[in-house]
Structure 1
Amino acid sequence: MTVRSKSRSAPQGPSPFTLPDKVPLAPGKFADPQVTAKGETRAVVAPEAMRTIWLNTGTLCNLACANCYIESSPTNDALQYLTLAEAERFLAELRETTDPLLADLPEIGFTGGEPFMNPDVIPMLSAALEVGFAALVLTNAMAPMQRHKAALEALRAKHGDRLTLRVSIDHYSQPVHEAERGPRSWEPMLAGLTWLSERGFALAVAGRHLAGESEAEARRGYAALFAEHGIAVDAANPAALVLFPEMDAGADVPEITEACWGILGQSPSAMMCATSRMVVHRKGEEEARVVACTLLPQDPQFDLGATLTAALRPVLLNHPHCARFCVLGGASCSQ
């Protein structure tokens, strides 16, 4: 979406990543979960062996970006802080399960908001690592993360590269990054990223590229930034530098039908909802629940139940994000 957060800390002016020449979403699209506006059978993704279970730590964030898909900000607690007890419930389910789609799960992901604002984040990370999972944390590497330097170094000393931090850098240039993330967001991010690299953490970066800027140009720009500051991230490696497509639920995009898999040369197995689920605790609800993916925590049609086992159900691709981000954009939040 391109609606700016109402937080006073949001940057001024339009997002530099706003889709150019936007055409509004055509009426009737993504209305029926089973069929498209043209009456064609909607594409569905069946669950496979899970690769990542995400724990959403809450939507509170120290930033209010111009175009945040989940509208994280210093004031938005629509997804409340996940607690250690809640995380442990799902970790226990994973330890005890005999379901073959969950039994060999390699990774627990932590996302927000900004995960390091959650007071239970270090205990949750430790709990996941102690039982043998790899942990991936998505962070802006700013003050909330930097307050936990000693704890992070202790986790790295004990668990090594099973702990990965993926730092969000919206663009390799300071003006564009700060146009999206707000003034004074560049230097603190760079300080945190440099610290992580110098301390030898397993490290990745999530970025974007501007309209009209090719992926190759963006990777060259990030590579120059990393080289200038001695950051140990290989910008040519798509797993180390993840470049996400833009999302705008109000912009027109084709609906994905069963026939699209063959037409586009895509496989349902490549979709994020084939191999991941996300735990969220929506404000006002009694318990944490499981949703189909990281992009759609609030849409009730993607709520799959209160347990991971119950959530192993097929997912109908009935949202613009399914089309733009996953199918046509080829993106996934997992490693």
Structure 2
Amino acid sequence: MKDSHSPTANQGKFRDPQHTADGQDRARVALTHPETLWFNTGTLCNITCANCYIESSPSNDALVYLTADDVANYLAQVRTRNWPLHEIGFTGGEPFMNPQIIDMARLSLEAGFEVLILTNAMLPMMRPAMRNGIKALNAAHPGKLTLRVSLDHWDERRHDAERGTGSFAKTLKGMDFLRDAGIPMTVAGRALWHESDTTARQGYADLFARQGYAIDAFNPARCVLFPEMDLSAEVPEITTACWGILNKSPDDVMCASSRMVVKRKGADRPVVLACTLLAYDPQFELGETLAEAEKDVALNHPHCAKFCVLGGASCSA
């Protein structure tokens, strides 16, 4: 796995969880309103993307498959801890490569939660068992299941530059299935091409109109455009004084409202992480239980600053 810090950028920064490089108190975030519990179903994926933040690929099993029993255990902990969740999220890798994804989603829906599954909508999702499972879940829990499809750009050439030749067409085929089956879907794209937000959203809007997808491209919750997580970029550290300077609240940062469960290769049990974006940095591993995961999180990584505090990004629906 890549080192969590660039060898050239941010020299001297993001080393001490208590203090910034210039000696100020580092900002910390408490879990004040848990809304989303994420499950990383495993880092295996059917494709290798050029800029995958978690390095998913057909050979990367650093995070192994979770099971339905794992999910059931954490759902029971949610009840015990009285977490006011409204959403269970599944990410990867490609979640539909995990043979138990339908069972895991069913358990979450039956527990009363909305379910969000992140997918590239390609061949793993399009297997008959998966398609039938998705349709059955939607029929049993209408309006509670959403699939967020990774569509890096509205232009086929640019999308395929990230995900491989032919991937755009395969993803649209999967989205056509979701459209025809009446499965709610949203899109996640990337802000990689130096175009304005308005231009990018208009491009997606035109594509959605042509394909008949009921997705509002101008709604950031329905068409999420993520900034690129470039570790070579110089970013400021976030101090306790920054909240007032930026007119932001720590409650707005993702780690105030979410946690992610993963299982590392060779581990006996899953663990809970502070963040969906930092699966390999040990300082963001909080423990095996949700009780342990209620501790504060030090914003001691460039992603904390650029992606979450300054970028205002969120992975939830």
Q: How would you bin the TM-score normalised by the shorter chain? A: over 0.9
Structure 2 unaligned runs (5+)? none
- 1:181 corresponds to which residue? 163
1:167 counterpart SS class = strand
Pick closer, same or farther for the CA change 1:23–1:260 going to 2, 3 Å.
farther
The equivalent of 2:75 in structure 1 is 91
Q: Distance in 2 between matches of 1:127 and 1:212?
A: 41
What SS class does the counterpart of residue 143 from structure 2 fall into? helix
Q: 1:157 to 1:287 in 2, by over 3 A?
A: same
Which range moved further: 286-295 or 193-202? 193-202
Structure-2 residue corresponding to 1:15:
none
- Residue 313 (structure 1) aligned with residue 301 (structure 2): no
The residue that corresponds to 1:28 in the other structure is 12
Aligned to 2:24: 40
Deviates more, 1:108-117 or 1:34-43: 34-43
Provide the rounded CA distance (Å) in 1 between the counterparts of 2:66 and 2:232. Answer: 29
Q: Please give the per-residue CA displacement for 1:202-246, whole angstroms capped at 9, x wherever unaligned.
A: 111101223421111111110011011111100011111011111
1:70 aligns with 2:54: yes
Partner residue of 1:133?
113
Counterpart secondary structure, 1:127 = helix
Partner of 2:88 in structure 1?
Answer: 108
Match of 1:223 among 197, 205, 225: 205
Secondary structure of 1:110's counterpart equals strand
Native 8 Å contact 1:255 1:323 kept in 2: yes
Q: Which residue of 1 aligns with 2:137?
A: 155
- Is the counterpart of residue 82 in structure 1 residue 66 in structure 2? yes
Where 1:311 maps in the other structure, the secondary structure is: helix
Moved over 6 A (4+): none
5 Å-filtered alignment, 1:205-216, equals: 205-216=187-198
Pick aligned residue for 1:261 from 205, 223, 243: 243
Matched residue SS, 1:87: helix
Q: 2:100 aligns with which of 120, 123, 126?
A: 120
Q: What's the CA shift for 1:261? A: 1.2
1:235 aligned to which of 212, 217, 225: 217
Given the alignment of the two structures, is residue 299 of structure 1 paired with residue 275 of structure 2, yes or no? no
Query: For the Cα contact (< 8 Å) 1:23–1:252, is it kept in 2?
Result: no
The structural deviation recorded for 1:251 is 2.4
Residue 23 of structure 1 and its aligned partner are, at CA, apart by: 11
* 1:3-22 pair list within 5 angstroms: none
What SS class does the counterpart of residue 91 from structure 1 fall into? helix
Give structure 1 stretches of 5+ with no counterpart.
4-21
In 2, Cα distance between equivalents of 1:252 and 1:284: 35
Give distance in 2, aligned partners of 1:273 and 1:26: 22
Q: How many residues align?
A: 313
Aligned counterpart in structure 1 of residue 311 of structure 2, from 319, 325, 329: 329
**Does the aligned pair in 1 maintain the 2:274–2:297 contact within 8 Å?**
yes
Residue 134 of structure 2 is aligned to residue 172 of structure 1: no
Quick check: 1:273 aligned with 2:255?
yes
Contact persistence 2:44–2:97 (CA under 8 A): yes
Paired residue type of 1:86: D
Q: Distance in 2 between matches of 1:72 and 1:184?
A: 19
Q: CA deviation at 1:201?
A: 1.2
CA distance in 1 between partners of 2:296 and 2:157 (Å) = 42
Distance in structure 2 (CA, Å) of the matches to 1:165 and 1:266? 30
The equivalent of 1:196 in structure 2 is: 178
Deviation at residue 2 of structure 1 after TM alignment: 9.8
Is residue 2–residue 248 contact of structure 1 (8 Å, CA) maintained in 2?
no
RMSD: 1.7
Q: Given the superposition, is the C-alpha separation of residues 220 and 2 from structure 1 closer, same or farther in structure 2, using an over 3 Å criterion?
A: farther
Provide TM-score, normalisation by structure 2.
0.95
